Structures are given as structure tokens and as C-alpha cells.
């Protein structure tokens, strides 16, 4: 194919996909001059409710969604939450923000999702919840996680920030289970610019997160949706300024219309990567069901190759790459134990560009350059 080098352009690792409809929607909010939480947020929540078949509360980030879910379950000082170490630090920060302890667990190296057998070994009388992370859109063995949780009286908070639009056992991610949290930041499967959502059938959790996202002001949500404010109110619990704005929601409403297009493109590109890279013995692919997931990132495992040198060579060819993620148990704030599987796996992980703005020819070029860098 035609060369796509540094002199021409850089193939970005990820990017937002915003069109004229999203810009027009934002301008509509700006023209109306009601930028905070109002009717657009309510409309976006209703659209998500219809899509998932369950109540939804929107907040300003996926991190806020996880944090408020923890708080709503009463998880706090001295409690423990089981979570894989190989995840973005937000997963750990939301646990420690409540005063609880994130207990770092191993991953299944084939899927990079929570190793339930390792989690079982780390169960104590202080364990209150388990947080499965849907890494790169994959869910691993979610049924086994729920069986483990039910057997031990644990709540399940799914970090589904990578998985919006995907399916598990013919059910939409977020349409079943205990609590699912999504992210709509700039590079997720759909974006609000920033944004997140909590999805659950637990009415107590829904009530608590609705109030907590508005600084704990009780029943302020209904008034905001009417364009009003609470001037005389009560606060009984810790709250945060975590609500979604109308600007964010306006983008999200338009993005939901494009979800089928985005999902199809992500799957097509990921499958093209997989087909091109199967022939390289120095590359292992994750065990993922591309017919059902919507891949947020495309991660490969390198064998007997210096990842950092490969990244340098690819960047010289105009190809951005990433590393998802630095294991949290190796961070100073969370360092408590050793996880040999994770520590061996981490230096092998490489993330290749994936977003709906990439052309199939660019995927071919990335694969050709990657294999060439490995072989020379």
C-alpha cells in the first residue's frame, strides 16, 4: 500500500469521532444557555434506559460512576474489594476513595480479565465486593464471577468502561447483573466528551447515586430536570459534584445514533488485525469473541521481543502505540503483594491503533510494519 510515514501523517492510537450532528446539538445547548444538568441529561438517560432495559444514572465520568457505586453499597473504611491489577488506575482509585482497600488479583493471561481462582485465594472476612474489569471489551467468564460472588455474599460492580455496546450470552452488557459502570470519555465506544453511567435494578443504589452526584442534596434530580433548583433542602450523606451536564448529554444523544456504525467498524478493524497477525509467531492474540464484543482497544502479546524498541520503530513509521496498563500493584500507593502472572505479562502487552477513523488499508500497513520491526 501507499506509504503512511511520519512525513505524511501519524496514525493515532485513538481519537474522538465527532460530526456535524454532535456540534449542532452542542450549539443548541449553548444557544439555550442552560449548560448544567437538565432536560438533555434526562433524555440521554431515557435513551440508555431504553437501550439497556434498566434504570440508568448519568454522571460526569466513568470514574465517578464506580466511586458512587462503591459508596452507595456502603463500602468504606477497612473493607476490601477484589479487582485485577491490570486495569487503569481509576478502578483502584475509586475503591481507595471510599477508604476501602483494593485487593490486587491476577488475570487470566488469555483474556486479561479477572482470574477468579486467584480472587478466591484473596477472599477474607473483610471482602465486600468484586470488580470485574471488561478489559478491551472482553468479559472473560462473567458467569463464574457471579457464582463466586453469590456463594460468598459479595456485591458485583462491573467496570464496563471498555465494553459499551457489547453482548454476553446474547444479552447486552449492562442489561443484567448487579451494577455496571460505563465511561463515555473522548475515546470510548461512544463519547460525551466526558461522561459515565451507573446501571442497576437496585432502587436503593439508584436513589443514593442520584443524590450523591449532586452533592448529596436530596431529590434534587427531579427539580434539575424541570429547570429548577433546590433552595431549601437536606443532606444526609457525603456527596460530590459528579453530575453530567447538558453539553455532555447532547453529544451522547447523537453518538447513540451512531453506535451501530461505530460497533461494526471496530469489529471489522479488529478482525482485520487478527487475520493479518495470525501468521506471525512472535505475536499472540487475546481470546475474545469478536462477534459479540465491541473492542475498545486492540491489544496483542509479544513473544521474545523488546516491546519498547518495537514502539520506537513503529512511531518512526508514523504509528502510535500504547500500553494498557501499568499494573496497579506496582504503583507506590497500592504496592502490597507480588503477582507473578501479571508481572510476566505486562512487558509483553502492546496496544495498536483502533478507532472508527482508521481505514482498513492503514490496519494492513500497521501489521506490515509491526511484523517487519519484529523480524529485522
Read off the pLDDT of residues 340-372 as tens digits, 9 standing for 90 and up. Answer: 999 999 999 999 999 999 999 999 999 999 999
Share of the chain above pLDDT 90, in %: 95
**Residue 246 grid coordinates:** 447538558
Give the CA distances from residue 15 to residues 12, 124, 228, 264, 342, in Å, rounded to whole numbers and listed in that order.
Answer: 7, 41, 36, 17, 28
Q: Is the pLDDT of residue 1 over 80?
A: no
pLDDT given at position 6: 40
pLDDT given at position 3: 47
Residue with cell 505475536: 283
Confidence label for 337 from pLDDT (cuts 50, 70 and 90): confident
pLDDT given at position 8: 60
pLDDT given at position 125: 98
Mean pLDDT on 154-177: 98
Read off the pLDDT of residues 278-306 as tens digits, 9 standing for 90 and up. Answer: 989 999 999 999 999 999 999 999 999 99
Read off the pLDDT of residues 69-92 as tens digits, 9 standing for 90 and up. Answer: 999 999 999 999 999 999 999 999
Residue spans of beta strands (DSSP E) within the chain: 56-59, 80-84, 101-105, 107-108, 113-114, 127-131, 155-159, 167-168, 171-172, 179-183, 196-200, 283-285, 298-302, 349-352
Q: Is the pLDDT of residue 142 over 70?
A: yes
Q: Among 324, 288, 305, 286, which Cα is nearest to 374's? A: 305
The partner residues of 104 in beta bridges, in order of sequence, read 83
pTM of the model: 0.96
pLDDT given at position 194: 97
The residues spanned by each domain of the chain are 20-253, 259-375
Read off the pLDDT of residues 2-33 as tens digits, 9 standing for 90 and up. Answer: 444 444 689 999 999 999 999 999 999 999 99
Domain spanning 20-253: CATH 3.40.190.10: no
Mean pLDDT on 246-266: 98
CATH of domain 259-375: 3.90.1150.10
pLDDT given at position 287: 97
pLDDT given at position 2: 47
Mean pLDDT on 147-171: 98
Mean pLDDT on 201-227: 96
Confidence label for 376 from pLDDT (cuts 50, 70 and 90): confident
Q: Is the pLDDT of residue 122 over 80?
A: yes
Under DSSP, is residue 280 helix (H, G, I), strand (E, B) or coil?
A: coil
CB 255 within 8 A of CB 279: no
Amino acid at each position: 500500500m501507499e506509504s503512511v510515514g511520519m512525513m505524511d501523517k501519524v496514525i493515532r492510537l485513538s481519537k474522538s469521532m465527532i460530526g456535524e450532528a454532535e456540534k449542532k446539538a452542542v450549539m443548541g445547548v449553548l444557544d439555550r444557555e442552560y449548560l448544567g444538568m437538565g432536560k438533555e441529561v434526562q433524555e440521554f438517560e431515557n435513551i440508555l434506559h431504553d437501550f439497556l432495559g434498566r434504570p440508568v444514572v448519568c454522571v460526569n465520568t466513568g470514574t465517578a460512576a464506580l466511586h458512587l457505586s462503591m459508596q452507595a453499597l456502603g463500602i468504606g473504611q477497612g473493607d476490601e474489594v477484589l479487582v485485577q491489577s491490570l486495569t487503569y488506575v481509576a478502578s483502584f482509585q475509586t475503591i481507595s476513595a471510599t477508604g476501602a482497600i483494593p485487593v490486587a488479583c491476577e488475570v487470566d493471561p488469555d483474556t486479561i480479565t479477572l482470574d477468579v481462582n486467584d480472587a478466591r485465594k484473596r477472599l477474607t472476612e473483610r471482602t465486600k465486593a468484586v470488580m470485574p474489569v471488561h478489559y478491551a471489551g472482553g468479559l472473560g467468564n462473567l458467569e463464574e464471577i457471579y457464582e463466586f460472588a453469590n456463594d460468598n455474599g459479595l456485591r458485583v460492580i462491573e467496570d464496563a468502561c471498555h465494553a459499551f455496546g457489547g453482548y454476553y450470552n446474547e444479552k447486552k452488557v449492562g442489561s443484567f447483573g448487579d451494577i455496571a459502570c460505563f465511561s463515555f470519555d473522548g475515546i470510548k465506544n461512544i463519547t460525551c466528551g466526558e461522561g459515565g453511567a451507573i446501571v442497576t435494578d437496585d432502587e436503593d443504589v439508584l436513589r443514593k447515586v442520584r443524590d450523591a452526584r449532586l452533592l448529596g442534596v436530596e431529590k434534587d434530580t427531579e427539580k434539575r430536570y424541570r429547570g429548577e433548583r433546590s433552595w431549601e433542602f437536606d443532606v444526609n450523606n457525603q456527596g460530590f459534584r459528579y453530575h453530567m451536564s447538558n453539553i455532555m448529554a447532547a453529544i451522547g444523544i447523537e453518538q447513540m445514533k451512531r453506535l451501530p456504525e461505530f460497533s461494526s467498524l471496530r469489529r471489522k478493524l479488529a478482525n482485520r488485525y487478527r487475520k493479518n497477525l495470525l501468521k506471525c509467531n512472535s505475536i499472540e492474540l487475546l481470546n475474545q469473541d469478536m462477534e459479540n464484543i465491541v473492542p475498545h482497544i486492540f491489544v496483542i502479546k509479544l513473544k521474545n521481543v523488546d516491546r519498547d524498541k518495537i514502539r520506537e520503530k513503529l512511531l518512526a513509521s508514523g504509528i502510535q502505540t500504547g500500553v494498557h496498563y501499568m499494573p496497579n500493584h506496582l504503583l507506590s500507593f497500592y504496592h502490597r503483594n507480588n503477582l507473578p502472572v501479571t508481572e510476566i505479562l505486562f512487558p509483553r502487552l502492546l496496544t495498536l491503533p483502533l478507532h472508527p477513523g482508521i481505514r482498513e488499508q492503514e490496519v494492513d500497513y500497521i501489521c506490515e510494519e509491526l511484523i517487519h520491526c519484529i523480524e529485522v
